[in-house]
Amino acid sequence: MANIIVKEFTFNSFQENTFVVSDELGNAIIFDPGCYTLKEEKELFNYIESQNLAVCALFNTHCHIDHVLGNAFIHNVFAASLQIHEADQITLDRVAEYAHVYGFEGYKLSPAPIESSYLYDQQKLQYGDLAFTVFHTPGHSPGHVVFYFESDHFVINGDVLFKGSFGRTDLPGGDLETLKRSIHEVLFQLPDDTIVYCGHGPSTTIGIEKQTNYILQF
């Protein structure tokens, strides 16, 4: 099994978790860059430089503002093309309209992905030793996806499932019943020992959430 490193950063006022996943060869993927301030950008950049990583790809699990603030920075500095699910394109496009409401005055809309960059359900991707499957998991947002690293026993889960909780559904495009299906029919079908890296808060495992998460009460 390849030695895969998952590095977590917590950025911006929403305390959003950004992940850099890399292999022994120095291939790296960035998920949900939430870096907004120059200090946050420098922290992420210095890690990548200090580890001699080559950024191969940039992904958003979904396109709510706290998960996309660093898209333009990553695209411009590392020439990484953004990849999202097509159903969240409208979510991304609207970020610039309301960014100022949350105090993100300097936000610039990142380059929109070309059609060939859109992700789709059960798509398999590989960069070096980083091999994973994309699953469409709507409910928190229409185009939410998760990234399952089967051989390495973890999933980059965004805001679908949290430790003891789950993603909110009161934002545009959110729907509780749809989110429940995503959790039960996708995430809860993964092995119990799968580590769940969440978009906010601590990581957990599928097994723990299947036993204790209060989504089971609905």
- Give pLDDT, residue 113: 57
- Give pLDDT, residue 192: 98
3-class DSSP state of 59:
strand
- Give pLDDT, residue 144: 98
Q: Is 70's pLDDT higher than 80?
A: yes
Q: What single-letter DSSP state applies at residue 85?
A: B
Percent of the chain at pLDDT above 70?
A: 95
- Token pair in block for residue 122: 């059960």
Element (H, E) at 42: helix 38-50
Beta-bridge mates of residue 205: 195
**Segments making up each domain of the chain, as ranges:** 5-217
Judge contact between 41 and 139, C-beta under 8 A.
no
**pLDDT digit string, tens, across residues 164-213:** 999 999 999 999 999 999 999 999 999 999 999 999 999 999 999 999 99
- Give pLDDT, residue 211: 96
Percent of the chain at pLDDT above 90?
A: 88
Q: What confidence tier does 56 reach under pLDDT thresholds 50, 70, 90?
A: very high
Q: Is 148's pLDDT higher than 80?
A: yes
CB neighbours (10 Å) of residue 173? 19
Candidates 47, 24, 26, 44; CA nearest to 36 is 44
| Cα 60 from Cα 70, distance rounded (Å) | 10
How far is the CA of 36 from the CAs of 41, 150, 199, in angstroms? 7, 31, 16
| Cα 137 from Cα 135, distance rounded (Å) | 6
Superfamily grouping for domain 5-217: Ribonuclease Z/Hydroxyacylglutathione hydrolase-like (3.60.15.10)
Chain mean pLDDT for the chain = 94
**pLDDT digit string, tens, across residues 12-23:** 999 999 999 999
Candidates 24, 81, 86, 77; CA nearest to 57 is 81
Q: Is 63's pLDDT higher than 70?
A: yes
What average pLDDT does range 16-38 have in this prediction?
97
Name the residue with tokens 């922290």. 43
Q: Is 112's pLDDT higher than 90?
A: no
